[in-house]
Structures are given as structure tokens and as C-alpha cells.
Structure 1
């Protein structure tokens, strides 16, 4: 299949690296052709920590996606996350030489491009600039100023920044896997496009994507992205807690979490017990599900408190009618919805 016809997404995550291949059909919808995924061994908390391991994982995932989709992949759209991601609000403006001429795409693009020239802290780069709403000659709340007349064009921008080296390492890994980067996307925004409806974004909603190494947050209100944040905790830290708390190996800890894990200890009875195989002929180890849930609940409470802090920090806490939408692997834990509602008081 010709490369020009396909769109490829590459998610370089902490627990897995996944590639998905799609094609735009006649209804302008993306039709999935195939996907590939493999274990991620060179990424810690959303940031590349071993170039060679990451490159090998990317190659395996891409090869699988090529086989399943019967396509040749040359360019990819890559997601970026990690605790180094920050967001700021900024207001920019331009004075147009002739107010009688209609505002054009060139004027709007020029205002957006100016934002990329802002001075950042050493070692930080602007990853994305998202216009929120425009003002034309003092008239506020304009979502699309194209075609209007006016002398001064202003806009509020949501600017996403990240560590220069973290982004460069992603580019380097992709290039070493013999691929080109078409675009670099913030993963909370990519998740929002996949999971949220326009009605939810309009009403006001918090998207919480609980991954392996990080928890990504995106807050929308009035159809506009208002706040993004990345919390450096995810499902992996819960597995580590179980491993330490129950003194078992990581593989068994992960299996326990996935099969029997619960975010509310009160939902489990004392007599519910699971046996873990002993190492090299040693007797099996018995663990109560209530104890397991207590370990998970303690860490989940911490993660949800961080999420709630970001919601309050955004200033939109009282304006999020659609509440919280949970997604990602960590969101599959039993009773996580009830715990989230209990701590935040918001619909989930």
C-alpha cells in the first residue's frame, strides 16, 4: 500500500510501545488497518532512558504493524509524555497594518508562530502552541476570527513545554529505527481525541490517562483545552508497592494487581486469600485480597490527590459538568471509579 494513504501513530510508553496504522475513508473517518505492540524496556516514567533498547522495541512494534496492515511504514506521529511536560497560559497580540482588510489564515498563523519565539528556561523547548480564543479590537470570546475586520488581533494560548533532550531522544530513537517523525503530539491530547466527545469537551471534563509510568491529565471547558499536566506515577509504582509489601517477585505482583487488584480495601473480605507459587520448590505464599487492596488503595489515593490538586490548580474545578473520564491501563483497576468520586466529589 502506498505510504501517502496511511497514518501511523507511535506510542512510546513505559510498559509498552505500540504502533497503529490507519487510513482515512470516504466518510473522513480513520479506518484501522492493523497494529503492533511490544514490551517497552528502555523507557522510565515516559522518558527514554536507554536508546538502543527503545529502538529495538520500536522496530518490533512497527514490524508487527506492517505485517498486520500489509503496509510499508516510513513516517510516524509520535506521542510525548513524561514528568518534564509543563503547560503555561500566554496572551499574544499583533497589530495589523490595514484594519479594512479581512483577517486571513496568514494573520492567525503568524500570531501562533510568534508564540514559538518566546524565551524559555534553559534546556526547555516549546512542544505545542494551542490557540484557545481570540479577541479582535476588544471583542472577546471569538473562536474563529478569519474573515473579520479589525486592527488588533489577540489570542489566549495554551503553550506546552518539555525538556529539549527528552524530545530529541525520542526523535533519535525513531530515526535509528529507520523512520521519520511527521509530528510530535502531547499524549493527554491524543488520548482526549480518542476518548472524549465534543459534548463532554463543551460541558467541561477532566481526562485522566493512567499509564504505566505516568498519569496524564487534560482539562477541557467550553470546547477548549484549559490545562494539561503529567504526574510521575502510574501502574508501575503500584506493582512495586505490591512487590515490596507482599515480598514477592515483580511478575507475581503484576499478575496479582491485574487479576485480583482493587482500589477499595473495604470491598474485600478477610477470608479471601490467593496463593502465590513458591520459588524453586519453596511452599506457596498466601496473601489476603484485603491486604492487597490496602496496598493498592494507599497509592491510588496519592495519585488521585495529585489529580485533584491539578484540577483545583486549573481554576476550573466548579465548571466541569461532565466530571472525570478515566482511561489507560491503570483505569481498569476494580473500584477505581468509586475511590475517585469519594476523593474528588466529582462524577466519574
Structure 2
């Protein structure tokens, strides 16, 4: 039977055998035969009675071999409904150290897949994780501190989490399938998955980059497969399908289940059916009445399928393809489109006439229910699922090559928890900041080193049969390497003005009582003290390097009247008097004055009195200012002048003199005149008039001595 292909679709209700003839790159259907199981030997795609299923297979084989000769090898598929899908999460503590590589994210995703595998094992009450083959997973979302985020790269926070949805094929499904074939004297030529088979013949490889859903609506279950980015990313199943509609017909029209099934098919194919209910009444049911009567069941089926699609895919896909006998349910395409909020033309039933590789033939069956059986034959021939054997740390494991296998798949199947192969974090440092203890965690341990055939590799690298994989624990992390600036952050200076000069206030750091700059690398046990001079008294002390004297009240009695003024440091911020503890803000303007020992001049300034009476005269073309006290001031010790230091509670008497006057000879106290070098007579002139040494002079006069 050269170039002939024998394939079996072993379903829950029946077994369908197909004979295809390969002609170049196309396939011609020669024959098919379907036989129902005698009893419920299969449930939800799982063989429960190997002997009974083998008997049905044997009958189908003999029926076809009578026409086409001995059949020894067969292409088969594991049912999509046998796949198990579960969700799981994995988390890693960041401690404000972000993830920087995609490889770290892949490791986190694999940990989530392993968590899903363990979760499934608990649910199925088995301790052997290797009994489940991971056939694919997809990321639902990433989170930082429970907040959903698009990517984990360079994100800061306390904890990073990934949630995945993973699909597993129980090993027992394949083993029971092999057992039934062996009992029927058949050898498995190749294996595939039913969803993969249908997708391979309906969706060209170039279109698998699109997010498309295939739903095989059978009798008892609806199997779902989702493509995206060139591969199948998720599988699912809902236990609602064509039988749900048949039961609704049975309930609505009081029909036996088998008669209800025939009635359903007759109305769908012919537009009406004549039925007799269990009470013996005969009636004719047309298509519109039929659809209206079972609309609730149709809506329920569509809702269940749509909800599972959204659970697996997280959002509506680009399109949905329906195959299987249940896809002929009236209005199912439009109802699913409505549930997924898709245009009606994005959900369609696909039949065998949509299989491009299949040649037209009079032997072709009609309808979408034969897409999967034909897909099994073609897909298993073109893309058979093979066993792959690899070594992981010198232990041999076997995997089904349901898709392109990677190092990560091998680690999962080998039961290696990749998180445990990371190096330990470095020892943390304990430091004190302004009296508060802080723990600085050590640096992360290094990721494990993975080699394939003694070459460095990653978890994403594809593997082939016979590869030798080794994984070595990563190096432990070092102690933390943190500077003061990294710990406390970039503390910006406060800009203020002190006596009209800009003075930025930078933080002051001390480590173990020694002044340090912000680039100092912290060590275990360090005690940090830091502050930023924000109180005006501290700022003035820093700027002037002088200790501020406390501003105090000072009283002097002048002509028996008390005069009160301040001594010490007077401080003003934005023209408002403040005390040294006043806290400064950005842009404040500070003015200060030190008054240590008050003098008579300070007192006169307070009284707004000018101690000196002055005039300006011209002498030999120079302006000379002549001064003499305007006041006579008497203290407790006698006459005093403006430089005399005052004491608290001093009694002072101030008398204003009569209008002071000046004479010509007063100028000799202000000029240097060497008369020894001058010979002959001289003349004294005031404003060019002859005068004498004792003549009075006034403001603005011009004085001359002419020899």
C-alpha cells in the first residue's frame, strides 16, 4: 500500500478509519468507515476499556483491509479533550533590584510551569510529575507588587510575579492508546494531537502568526486550540457540545434522545422534520420554530465556548474556526461572535472543502465533522509527533515533540526546579541611619549555568534527539555594594541667600563620626548620621564660622529716660525677625547682624542723632571736611565720646552744644603744611579776601595761604 495512509480518529462515540492516497503534494481520499462503540468504553477522549476499544478498532481495520489489503501501521491522534490546562504563578523577591535580562524572566516562567505541573499532580492525586507532558504554555500577565505590567525588565518593586496557563498531556492517554492499537495488531506509525491535526490542514503555516482559535464541537465536548506568533499557544476543553443541543430538542418536543438527534440533523439539513412524541402526537417542526425553541441551549453552548476562549487567550482573538458535527448548530457562529464581540464574518464553520491539500473526490464525505479525521491522516504524515530522548545531568528523559522542544521543556520534564539552582544571595549588611537600623540585602546569586553538548546555552535554545544537557548551580551573591547616595537617594541642596549671597545647603554625612561624601561605600555595622542645615542659626554658623550670641534686651537711661535696644545676633528672614531655630525653605533670604558690645555710637544711631557736626571747605584746590562733636555726653565716669562702651543700666546725659563754629587755624588739624621750607611773607585769604588765623570759616569757603 505504497503512498497510502491509514488513519484512525478514535472518538468518544465512535472510531473512524480513513484511507488516503498521497499524490505528489496532495492527498486523495479513497475510503472511510465509521463504527460506534458498543458500550461506553471511552469517556471524554480517555480509553477506559482497552479491550472494547481495541475490538472496535479491529472491526474498522478489517472493513477497510478487505478492500485495500493488509493494514499494519496507522496514524492516530490523542484527543484534545484529554489535554489538561491549568493556571499557576511564580514570584521572585526583587528587594528593589530589578530584573535586567530576558533569561531571568524565562526562568521565572518555567518555575510557573513547574508550579502548574505540581498543581495538576495534586489535583490528580499523583506524586510523579513526569506523568504529564507539557505541550505548551502562554503568559497571562506579569505583575510588580500585585500591579499588572507589560514587561518585568528594569521594573523596581518588592516582588515580581508571572502568571501562566499551561497545557499538559497525561502519559496514560498515550499509553492506553498504544495498548489498544497493539491489541488490534496495529503499529503506531505516527502520533499527533487532534487540535494540531485540524489546525495544520486548515490554517497555513504563514497564517499561524495570527491569533486564531479552532473549536472542534463534537458530541460530548468542545475542544479548543489557539494559535499565535507561529505556534499553538493554548489548548482547552468545555464539556458542552452537540449533545447539549440534542437534549434540548428531546426536552422541548418529548422525544427519545436518539430520535431527537435524528430530528436535529433533519431540520439542519432539510429545513423541517416530522416527529411523533412519546405520547404519540405527530407534529411538523420547521427551521425557524426549531431555532427559537432551542435558543437557550444554543446561547449556553456559545457562552461556554466563548468564556473558555477568553480564559485561555485573555482577550478576543482575530478569528474563530468551527469544525466538528456540533458546529452545524443553528446560529452558533453569530452567537459566538456576539459573545466575543467580534464581527460576524470573523467566526465561520470550516469543512473538508477548505482543506487545500485534499483533492476533490466523489468519495469525499460532506460536512465539518470529517475535518479532524482527515487532518489526523495528513498532519500525522507531514508533522508526526516523535519521541525525543535527551540526557539531563546524566539522567535520560523522553518527551513528545508536540512542538519545537527547548532546554526549558527538558528541565520541566526532568523535574528540575530551576529556582533551586540559583546561587544563594550574599550576606546582608546591618547599618544604622540616624539611629534607625536598616538591613541591606546581599547581591543576588548568579543564575545556573546551562550547557548543551558542553556549550553554554539558555532555556530557550531548541534541542534535538540525543542532546546532553547539564545544569550547574550558579555562584553565590556577594555582600551588598551600596553607596550613601544609593541608600538615601539624591538629596538636592536647598538654595537660600545669606546677606544677599547665594548659599546652597548640601547634606552633611558622617559615618562612624567621620565626615564622608555621598560616594562612600557602606560596610556592615556602619553608623550613618546625616542632616541638612535647615535652621537659620546652623546656617549662619556654617557660613560665618562664628558662634551666635543670644539676642538680649539692653537698657540705657538717657537724660533719665530708658532706651531699650538689642545686643547679640539679630536675624531676619524675608525681612521678618526670627530666632535661630527658624526652619528655612527654598529661596529664603537671610540677613543677620552681630552686635557684641554696644557703644555710645549705637545709642546715638538708635536715637537718630549724628554725633559730629561737619563742614566742607576748599584749601589749595582740595576739599577738606572739618568736624567737631555736636553733643556733650556725660556718663557715670565723666565725659565720654561715641566710642565709649556702654553697660546695661548706664545713666547717660546728652547735651547739645551751641552751634559749633570753626576758625581758619582749625584746618591745620587736617592738613600737612611744612612751613620750614617757606621763606618770606605770607597772606591768608578767605574767599580771596585777606583774613586772619582766628577768622571764622563756613561751609563752602575757599581758604588760601599765599607766600
TM-score (norm 1): 0.69
Q: What runs of 5+ residues in structure 2 fail to find an aligned partner?
A: 89-113, 139-163, 348-707
1:126 to 107, 113, 132: 132
Q: Is the 8 A contact 2:212 2:228 kept in 1?
A: yes
In the TM superposition, what are the counterparts of 1:83-122 in structure 2 within 5 Å? 83-87=81-85, 121=121, 122=125
Aligned CA-pair RMSD:
3.7
Higher Cα radius of gyration: 2
Secondary structure of the 1:275 match is strand
Question: In structure 2, do the counterparts of structure 1 residues 237 and 164 end up closer, same or farther at CA, with 3 Å as the change threshold?
Answer: farther
Q: Is the 8 A contact 2:136 2:233 kept in 1?
A: no
Secondary structure of the 1:239 match is helix
Q: Does 1:174 align with 2:181?
A: yes
Structure 2 Cα separation of the partners of residues 287 and 336 of structure 1: 19
Partner residue in 2 for 1:276? 275
Structure 1 Cα separation of the partners of residues 19 and 219 of structure 2: 23
1:335 to 320, 331, 334: 331
Structure 1 Cα separation of the partners of residues 136 and 280 of structure 2: 58
Q: Does 1:344 align with 2:340?
A: yes
Q: Does 1:9 align with 2:15?
A: no
Cα deviation 1:221-280 (Å, max 9, x = unaligned): 122211111222221232223223322112210111112159xxxxxxxxx98531366x
Structure 2 Cα separation of the partners of residues 12 and 259 of structure 1: 26
Structure 1 Cα separation of the partners of residues 322 and 309 of structure 2: 14
Structure 2 Cα separation of the partners of residues 188 and 167 of structure 1: 15
Q: Does 1:35 align with 2:42?
A: no
Structure 2 Cα separation of the partners of residues 225 and 82 of structure 1: 13
Q: Does 1:237 align with 2:237?
A: no
Structure 2 Cα separation of the partners of residues 165 and 288 of structure 1: 46
Shift of residue 208, structure 1, vs aligned partner: 0.8
Shift of residue 325, structure 1, vs aligned partner: 0.8
In the TM superposition, what are the counterparts of 1:64-75 in structure 2 within 5 Å? 64-68=63-67, 70-75=68-73
Structure 1 Cα separation of the partners of residues 290 and 341 of structure 2: 25
Partner residue in 1 for 2:386? none
Q: What runs of 5+ residues in structure 1 fail to find an aligned partner?
A: 91-114, 133-156, 263-271
Secondary structure of the 1:203 match is coil
Partner residue in 1 for 2:74? 76
Question: In structure 2, do the counterparts of structure 1 residues 40 and 197 end up closer, same or farther at CA, with 3 Å as the change threshold?
Answer: farther
Q: Is the 8 A contact 2:65 2:71 kept in 1?
A: yes
Q: Is the 8 A contact 2:213 2:226 kept in 1?
A: yes
Partner residue in 1 for 2:259? 252
Shift of residue 184, structure 1, vs aligned partner: 3.5
Shift of residue 82, structure 1, vs aligned partner: 5.9
Secondary structure of the 2:300 match is helix
Instruction: State the 4+ residue runs in structure 1 displaced beyond 6 angstroms.
Output: none
Structure 1 Cα separation of the partners of residues 210 and 76 of structure 2: 29
Structure 2 Cα separation of the partners of residues 331 and 84 of structure 1: 20
Question: In structure 2, do the counterparts of structure 1 residues 9 and 317 end up closer, same or farther at CA, with 3 Å as the change threshold?
Answer: farther
Structure 1 Cα separation of the partners of residues 247 and 305 of structure 2: 20
Shift of residue 336, structure 1, vs aligned partner: 2.0
Partner residue in 1 for 2:224? 217
Q: Is the 8 A contact 1:36 1:63 kept in 2?
A: no
Secondary structure of the 2:339 match is helix
Cα deviation 1:32-68 (Å, max 9, x = unaligned): 3432221234333323344443223212222233345
TM-score (norm 2): 0.36
Aligned residues: 286
